[in-house]
């Protein structure tokens, strides 16, 4: 019995000790986590107050003479002018907020009163430091049509947490809206309370104009078509430069890519629908467009009638159209209606497909190297020629900015800006990236987070294009990174001398090997390799030679077993089949994949201001 009582007493003692220990721990936590940091904060607050009063005593001429006027000195100024050392949070060397912390002096009844506000970590002074709340009449985002009058909606109310309801007439309104010029304008509204705490809110006003209206005004004398060598019909669409072609009767607007984007065969029996071009444009290209731009596209019919050789320079009416498609290509009719008898802005130096067919079931292609129509040719449908996609925009599309020039094209959607230190794989297809002295273009964002890019111009050394050739004798000249003398081997092992690859990752690459001709839907095998760098396919977006390119020709990865045929982009921009003997040389445009963790350092993703990356 006695032992039992002793055991009970021990248990009670242990419980009491445990309880006391818990209380001690709690008290210590309260002390270390709240009481001591608050004590440090109050000491800092007192130091700031004393430094502020000394500042105003020495700089008494700065004190406000008018009743109710307020001046302020920040902690940053007091530290820089040696009125006190920096104030720090408890348990560390983190400075208190230098800009928001301040000491204010206000003239009240001829005497000066001081208000000290310190912000330090999780603590801040119990002094009014918040500006009044401004409520605007109407929306903070407004849109008006060019030429309409802008009526300032004004301010609905201003309420301060200390001063209460304030006079809206005391709000300062700054900014102007030029309704004669398309663009985005900011109107700012600023209010201050009795302690000079300030609040500013902004109203954004967009002056827009219907795209169809602009095109109608510009083409009122030319049946809705831009004609001749016009220079004011450029428009940005999903990070790609397009040209405006025409306005339709329903106010929809047709645009066409300014540059060839790939080289693709036509390959169909006399119809656009179901052709290789149709598939490339609507199953591949369309899905690479940003979703917000896809929403602006109107499905429409595209001409694919039969035009005889004697009609090519005169035909202006279409006798047969496709079923509705999101993306198409222009017709000879479009070219003829854009031609002023001497020139057209649609003139290209390289062969491009048009939607019409010839009597022999070949498809028409055109270039303006020679005088029109001498440059027109009915071309075999399995040829690989430039593709310049055409798109019909809805009648609701409006211009937000730009003047339609090459350097300032029309903008129809606001582009989300990349923040510093944001991930590259959160950006958009078509944007530009500067890396290792070269400009690349984003061609895809893969599911694994890597960013596929294609070089905008060929590799160079000492200002000259680096050219390579197959030098593997009589062996098959199919792209093979493991075969010495093969261009695939040279790209894998030698081209890294000309470019930094530190931010690239190895990727499984499938090399297409065709049975006969290289065609978009052609039968082919693939050979897989894990590579750090490679070259694009003729069917990749941005693989074609751009209008501003200085490349003198470059290799593509596509191969055929028939006569060792390879695809080569020539200096004219036309892709040719070449029997790849050891004497044929061409340049190298790198295709690679940036690591998923690559970060943007700066830039806006345009050709003039490409993204730069954090190494």
- Tens of pLDDT, residue by residue over 444-454, are 999 999 999 99
Burial code (b: 16+ CB inside 10 Å, e: under 16) for 374-402 equals ebbbbbbbbbbbbbbbbbbbebebbbbbb
Decide which of 190, 211, 232 is a domain's last residue.
211
On the question of pLDDT at 482 being above 60, the answer is yes
Shared domain for 454 and 487, answered yes or no, is yes
174-183, 253-262, 424-433: least confidently modelled range:
174-183
What mean pLDDT is predicted for residues 33-53?
A: 92
Residue 583 predicted with pLDDT over 80: no
CA distance 93 to 73: 23
327 confidence band (pLDDT: 50, 70, 90): very high
* Residues contacting residue 536 through CB under 8 Å, at least 6 positions apart: 443, 454, 542, 543, 556, 557, 589, 591
d(CA 488, CA 456): 19
pLDDT band at 478 (very low <50, low <70, confident <90, very high): confident
> What are the strands, taking DSSP E only, across 211-315?
234-237, 240-247, 253-257, 262-264
Query: Which residue's structure tokens are 């004697």?
Result: 310
pLDDT tens by residue, 108-127: 888 899 999 999 999 999 99
Q: Does the residue 543 lie in any domain?
A: yes
Question: What are residue 514's DSSP bridge partners?
Answer: 524, 560
Same domain for 117 and 141: no
Please report whether residue 337 resides in a domain: yes
Residue 8 pLDDT grade (very low, low, confident, very high; cuts 50, 70, 90): low
First CA to last CA distance, the chain: 78
Please state, as a whole number, how many other Cβ atoms lie within 10 Å of the Cβ of residue 581: 11
Q: Higher confidence at residue 518 or residue 226?
A: 226
CA torsion 349→353→355→360, rounded to 10°? 110
Bridge partners (DSSP) of residue 192 are 198
Distances (CA, A) of 318 to 315, 321, 355: 8, 7, 11
Query: What pLDDT band is residue 102 in, cutting at 50, 70 and 90?
Result: very high
Whether 580 maps to a domain, the answer reads yes
Domain assignment present for residue 415? The answer is no
Q: Is the pLDDT of residue 563 over 70?
A: no
**Average pLDDT over the chain, rounded to an integer:** 90
594/535 Cα distance (integer angstroms): 15
Mark whether 492 and 583 lie in a shared domain.
Answer: yes
Pick the more confident residue, 20 or 205: 205
In a domain, 242, yes or no: yes
Residue environment code for 446-463, b if the CB has 16+ CB neighbours within 10 A, otherwise e: eeebbbbbbbbbbbbeee
pLDDT of res. 313: 87
Indicate the pTM of the whole model: 0.76
Same domain, 119 and 137: no
Distance CA 580, CA 563 (A): 8
Is 7 inside any structural domain?
no
- Same domain, residue pair 432 and 305: no
The whole-angstrom separation of Cα 589 and Cα 567 is 13
Domain stops at, among 338, 364, 399: 399
pLDDT in tens, 75-87: 999 999 999 988 9
138 belongs to a structural domain: yes
Give the domain CATH number at 189. 2.60.40.10
Tally of domains within the chain: 4
346-375 residue pLDDT tens: 987 677 899 999 988 899 988 765 555 557
The β-bridge relationship of strands 438-445 and 262-264 is unpaired
- The domain boundary, picked from 360, 382, 399, lies at 399
Q: Given this model, what pLDDT does residue 376 score?
A: 81
pLDDT value of residue 444: 97
Q: Is residue 21 part of a domain?
A: no
Asked whether residue 110 falls in the same domain as residue 250, the answer is no
């Amino acid at each position: 019995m006695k032992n039992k009582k002793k055991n009970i007493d021990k248990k009670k003692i242990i419980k009491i000790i445990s309880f006391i220990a818990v209380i001690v721990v709690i008290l210590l936590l309260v002390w270390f986590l709240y009481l001591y940091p608050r004590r440090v904060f109050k000491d800092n607050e007192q130091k700031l107050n004393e430094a502020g009063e000394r500042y105003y005593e020495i700089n008494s001429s700065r004190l406000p003479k008018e009743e109710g006027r307020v001046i302020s000195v920040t902690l940053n100024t007091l530290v820089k002018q040696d009125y006190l050392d920096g104030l720090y949070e408890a348990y560390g060397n983190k400075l208190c907020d230098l800009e928001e912390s301040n000491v204010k002096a206000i003239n009240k009844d001829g005497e000066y009163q001081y208000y000290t506000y310190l912000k330090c970590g999780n603590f801040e002074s119990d002094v009014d430091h918040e500006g009044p709340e401004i409520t605007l009449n109407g929306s903070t985002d407004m849109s008006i049509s060019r030429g309409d009058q802008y009526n300032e909606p004004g301010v609905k109310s201003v309420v301060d947490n200390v001063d209460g309801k304030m006079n809206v007439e005391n709000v300062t309104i700054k900014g102007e809206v030029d309704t004669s010029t398309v663009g985005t304008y900011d109107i700012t509204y600023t209010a201050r309370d009795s302690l000079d705490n300030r609040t500013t809110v902004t109203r954004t006003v967009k002056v827009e104009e219907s795209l169809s209206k602009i095109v109608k005004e510009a083409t009122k004398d030319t049946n809705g078509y831009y004609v001749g060598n016009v220079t004011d019909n450029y428009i940005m669409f999903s990070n790609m430069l397009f040209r405006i072609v025409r306005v339709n009767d329903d106010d929809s607007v047709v645009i066409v890519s300014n540059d060839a984007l790939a080289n693709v065969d036509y390959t169909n029996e006399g119809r656009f629908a179901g052709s290789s071009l149709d598939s490339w444009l609507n199953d591949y290209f369309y899905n690479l467009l940003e979703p917000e731009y896809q929403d602006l596209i109107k499905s429409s019919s595209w001409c694919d009638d039969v035009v005889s050789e004697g009609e090519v320079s005169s035909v202006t009416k279409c006798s047969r159209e496709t079923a509705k498609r999101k993306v198409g290509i222009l017709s000879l009719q479009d070219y003829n209606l854009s031609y002023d008898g001497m020139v057209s802005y649609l003139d290209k130096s390289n062969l491009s497909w048009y939607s019409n067919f010839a009597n022999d079931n070949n498809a028409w292609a055109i270039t303006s190297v020679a005088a029109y129509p001498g440059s027109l040719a009915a071309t075999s449908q399995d040829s690989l020629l430039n593709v310049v996609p055409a798109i019909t925009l809805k009648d609701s599309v409006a211009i937000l900015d730009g003047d339609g020039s090459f350097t300032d094209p029309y903008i129809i959607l606001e582009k989300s800006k990349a923040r510093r230190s944001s991930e590259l794989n959160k950006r958009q297809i078509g944007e530009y990236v500067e890396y290792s002295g070269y400009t690349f273009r984003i061609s895809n964002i893969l599911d694994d987070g890597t960013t596929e890019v294609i070089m905008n111009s060929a590799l160079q050394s000492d200002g000259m294009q680096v050219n390579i050739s197959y030098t593997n004798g009589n062996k098959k000249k199919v792209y093979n990174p493991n075969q010495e003398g093969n261009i695939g081997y040279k790209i894998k092992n030698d081209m890294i001398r000309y470019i930094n690859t530190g931010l690239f990752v190895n990727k499984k690459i499938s090399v297409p090997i065709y049975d006969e001709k290289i065609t978009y839907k052609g039968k082919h095998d693939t050979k897989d390799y894990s590579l750090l760098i490679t070259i694009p396919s003729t069917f990749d977006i941005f693989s074609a030679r751009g209008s501003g390119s200085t490349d003198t020709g470059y290799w593509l990865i596509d191969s055929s077993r028939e006569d060792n045929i390879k695809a080569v982009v020539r200096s004219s921009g036309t892709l040719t089949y070449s029997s790849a003997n050891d004497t044929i040389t061409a340049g190298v445009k790198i295709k690679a994949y940036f690591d998923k963790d690559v970060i943007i350092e700066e830039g806006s993703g345009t050709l003039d201001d490409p993204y730069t990356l954090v190494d």
